[in-house]
Amino acid sequence: MMCEMATLFTNAWAGSMIDRLNKRKLMIYLDIYRALFIAVLPLLSSIWLIYVIVFCISMASAIYEPTAMTYMTKLITPEKRQRFNSLRSLINSGAFVIGPAIAGVLLMISTTGFAIYINAIALFVSGMITLLMPNLEKDFLSDESNNKLSLTLLKKDWITVLHFSRHYVYIVFIYFLFHGMMVLATAMDSLELSFAKEVLLLSDSRYGFLVSIAGAGIIVGAIVNTIFTKKLIPSFLIGIGSLFISIGYMIYAFSNHFIIAAIGFFILSFAMAFANTGFYTFYQNNIPVDIMGRVGSIYELLIAILTILATILFGVATHFISIQVVVIIGVFVMLLITIVLCAFNLLPSKAKLYSAQSLDSKEI
């Protein structure tokens, strides 16, 4: 919930800043900022002060994500984006599995503080590596670069996003259907441990093994996706990938045994790489890059609100009905969303929106 709360505090104005600043420099500053704040954590003794610092780090991360997305979109040509996104998914998948393993080893051979300092150093190194990346906006000077961040400017930018949304309803519809699925996934994941303990009756070690199976599914899916990415189109990746994510959750929701739950976890994790690759490619090709920071930030703000509400709703519901029933209801809603998403993705009349041709803001 910390990430979503941080998004509420930043994304209403962050997009206006992102689109008017040098993206590479902003990413470097945010990496160093996060590294310094993380390095401070082991020195703190107050739990509330730790929460404040973590919240500040989460705010920086909330700004970093749309900044990085905009920079990557500018850097990678349209015809190479799907391949790039598949490789990005593979790297993220590896980090998802290897990261906790490295953290575990560090905790075994040293202290928690040492592991935190390694994390801070990694972010600092990330900033230094970003310094070596091309400065795509070195000779670019926006007409709006001298505009100071103000309520008037924010209102103007919100109107720009609203104008885009009204003109490209299909793009917005696909965006929120996909993220609707992810919101439900987040809400159900918040009940994952309780589900494993109360429904599947798993021990801590068995639950850890279940999570490891999900990690294996992510890596295998990312590898297969990388191999076949040139033969698959984004509409297929989004539609079929999302559908199999909901099928995986369906198997998991109705499971009463470890093996069945493991199969569900593997399927949904396997499909995640395909869905994400397709969606990122669709997003990069259909959101004009010069307003991508504003569009992405404001849309993510709405998604954060939905995520918080869904997580609270699912948590409250478990006090009145069983956890398994709550998860099953969530899965059926997810299945409905993904069926609609798949149907709209595969419409022949919308095929051009899944091509490698980018949408220019001048077309708005």
CATH classification of the domain holding 102 = 1.20.1250.20
Q: List pLDDT tens digits, range 96-122.
A: 777 777 877 888 888 889 989 999 999
Helix crossing, 292-317 with 151-167: angle to 10°? 80
Locate 237 and state its tokens. 């990746």
- Residue keyed to tokens 């199999």: 244
Identify the CA nearest to 295 among candidates 24, 16, 74, 68: 16
pLDDT of residue 351: 82
pLDDT higher than threshold 50 for residue 361: no
In a domain, 363, yes or no: no
- pLDDT confidence bin for 241, thresholds 50/70/90: very high
Rounded to a whole number of angstroms, the CA Rg of the chain reads 21
Q: How would DSSP label each residue in 8-72?
A: HHHHHHHHHHHTTS-HHHHHHHHHHHHHHHHHHGGG---HHHHHHHHHHHHHHHHHHHHHHHHHH
Domain that holds residue 73: 2-133+151-345
Give the span between the Cα atoms of 110 and 40, in whole angstroms. Answer: 18
- Computed from CA positions of residues 219, 221, 224, 229, in that sequence, does the dihedral angle turn out positive or negative? negative
pLDDT of residue 359: 62
Q: List pLDDT tens digits, range 53-104.
A: 999 999 999 999 999 999 999 999 999 999 999 999 888 877 777 777 787 7
pLDDT of residue 9: 92
Give the span between the Cα atoms of 56 and 47, in whole angstroms. Answer: 14
In a domain, 356, yes or no: no
pLDDT higher than threshold 90 for residue 350: no
pLDDT of residue 276: 94
In a domain, 258, yes or no: yes
pLDDT of residue 104: 79
In a domain, 282, yes or no: yes
pLDDT of residue 10: 94
Q: How would DSSP label each residue in 60-101?
A: HHHHHHHHHHHHHHHHS-GGGHHHHHHHHHHHHHHHHHHHHH
Q: List pLDDT tens digits, range 268-313.
A: 999 999 999 999 999 999 999 999 999 999 999 999 999 999 999 9
pLDDT of residue 159: 96
On average, the pLDDT of the chain sits at 91
Q: List pLDDT tens digits, range 302-324.
A: 999 999 999 999 999 999 999 99
Question: What is the pTM (predicted TM-score) of this model?
Answer: 0.91
In a domain, 227, yes or no: yes
Over range 7-31, report the average pLDDT: 94
pLDDT of residue 362: 42
Q: List pLDDT tens digits, range 129-149.
A: 999 999 988 765 555 445 678
Over range 35-43, report the average pLDDT: 96
Q: How many domains does the chain have?
A: 1
In a domain, 353, yes or no: no
Q: Could you give the C-alpha distances from 77 to 66, 88, 179, 343, in angstroms and in order?
A: 18, 15, 25, 28
140 in Cβ contact with 280 (< 8 Å): no
pLDDT of residue 358: 59
Q: List pLDDT tens digits, range 165-188.
A: 999 999 999 999 999 999 999 999
Percent of the chain with pLDDT over 70: 95
- pLDDT confidence bin for 1, thresholds 50/70/90: confident
Over range 212-231, report the average pLDDT: 90
pLDDT higher than threshold 60 for residue 235: yes
Over range 145-169, report the average pLDDT: 88
Give the span between the Cα atoms of 270 and 29, in whole angstroms. Answer: 35
pLDDT higher than threshold 50 for residue 49: yes
- pLDDT confidence bin for 357, thresholds 50/70/90: low
In a domain, 144, yes or no: no
Q: Which residues contact 66 (CB under 8 A, 6 or more apart)?
A: 11, 14, 15, 18, 292, 293, 296, 297, 300
In a domain, 320, yes or no: yes
